[in-house]
Amino acid sequence: MLESLGLDPVEERVYRFLVTTVEAEVADLVGNLGIDAETAETVLVSMRVRGLVRTVGPGRRRFTAVAPDIVLGSQLLRHQQALDWARREVDRLSEEYRDGARRRDAGRLVEVLPNRVVLREHLDHLQENARHEVLCLRRGHAVVPPAEEDLAEPDALRRGIEYRVIYERPLLEEQDMPTNVAYGVKLGEQARVAPRLPVRLTVIDREVAVLPVVWEEGTSEPAAALVRGGQLLEALIALFEGCWERATPLRIAEDGALTEGTRSCPLGSDDLSLVSLLVAGVPDKSIATRLGVSQRTVQRRVSNIMELAGARTRMQLAWRAATEHWL
């Protein structure tokens, strides 16, 4: 059990015996562990050199174990540090391998989904296996079955997956769509509406995206691209975030109907004062001094403000404050 810390089976038996008995001589090891005297002496000398045991008593013929948390704890810490380093190296090498594979074969980045059935299967599978979030741009004249037939999103919402969806306004004019969207919003979907959207798009966990690339109204089969990683995926995510910033929130009215909300500022006056200092480039430490609070308090308040504003970074928070005229 302690082999990973450098003790072979015999040494482990000797060490455990000394921990239990506190002190022992070679004869005690021979009588209790069933090993010969020569082996016992060899093991004790080796363990003493490595700091696992020490001699005590008259003539220094008796041995006692060094406290496990001292001698083994330090070894365990070194092993853990080595393991952490190895894990980081594996992660780095894995990323280098994926980058190399992408450079060698562009087909690893983009996969073509040739028809409606394959597209539907991939969308369902990706949503069912989402871990964090799903981002969607939804235009009119869907290329896959309509929302009322799509059970993947409600199931994912119930699992706690975050959905941010932008609907093109003509889509909301289609029959039953307002009811379907309202149902998703009630389950927790964050929905917005825009006059026009450039593409249809679904992004899962910021790791893979699906977007139709060949489809015209009236044709029988759409073709779509499955994008995994790379700058193309980053561009698609940036496209979504840009559309999200300009879109208008959708909410549920008191009568249960879907309605467009306002883009009013969600922040109070104190929060806006703090945002103004951030936008001006004032460091956290200086803000803390000015407000008479700790730097940790400033950082916590900024995190809360970002959550209220729906911003993931301070730069995005500053962008929202500027584009929506909060300051």
Q: Write the CATH number for 319.
A: 1.10.10.10
Q: How far apart are CA 197 and CA 205, in angstroms?
A: 21
Q: Which of 268, 269, 261, 275 is nearest to 311 (CA)?
A: 275
Judge if 164 and 219 occupy the same domain: yes
Q: What is the pLDDT of residue 152?
A: 81
Judge if 62 and 200 occupy the same domain: no
The C-alpha angle 184, 114, 181, rounded to 5 degrees, equals 10
Q: What is the pLDDT of residue 149?
A: 44
Mean residue pLDDT across the chain: 79
What's 196's domain CATH number? 3.30.870.10
Per the structure, how many domains does the chain have? 4
Question: Do 230 and 120 form a contact (C-beta atoms < 8 A)?
Answer: no
Judge if 239 and 114 occupy the same domain: yes
Helices marked H in the chain = 9-21, 26-33, 37-49, 68-104, 116-128, 152-158, 169-172, 177-187, 230-246, 269-279, 284-291, 295-309, 314-323
Judge if 137 and 247 occupy the same domain: yes
Q: Which uninterrupted H or E stretch holds 163?
A: strand 162-168
Cα-based distances in Å from 42 to 26, 51, 107, 179: 10, 14, 62, 82
Where does the pLDDT of residue 136 fall: very low under 50, low under 70, confident under 90, or very high at 90 and above?
very high
Judge if 127 and 252 occupy the same domain: yes
Judge if 141 and 46 occupy the same domain: no
Average pLDDT score over residue span 174-201: 87
Where does the pLDDT of residue 148 fall: very low under 50, low under 70, confident under 90, or very high at 90 and above?
very low
Q: Which uninterrupted H or E stretch holds 56?
A: strand 53-56
Kindly tell me if the per-residue pLDDT of 267 is higher than 90.
no
Q: Which uninterrupted H or E stretch holds 55?
A: strand 53-56
Q: Quick check: pTM over 0.75?
A: no
Token digits for 228?
A: 């995994």
CA-only gyration radius of the chain, Å: 32
Judge if 22 and 9 occupy the same domain: yes
Owning domain of residue 78: 70-104
Where does the pLDDT of residue 122 fall: very low under 50, low under 70, confident under 90, or very high at 90 and above?
confident
Kindly tell me if the per-residue pLDDT of 71 is higher than 80.
no
The per-residue pLDDT for range 204-247, each reduced to its tens digit, is 999 899 988 765 555 556 778 888 877 888 999 999 998 888 88
Judge if 204 and 255 occupy the same domain: yes
Q: Which of 326, 170, 172 is nearest to 245 (CA)?
A: 326
Edge-to-edge strand ranges of the sheet holding 248-252: 110-113, 223-228, 208-214, 201-204, 133-138, 162-168, 190-194, 248-252, 258-260
Where does the pLDDT of residue 147 fall: very low under 50, low under 70, confident under 90, or very high at 90 and above?
very low
Judge if 138 and 30 occupy the same domain: no
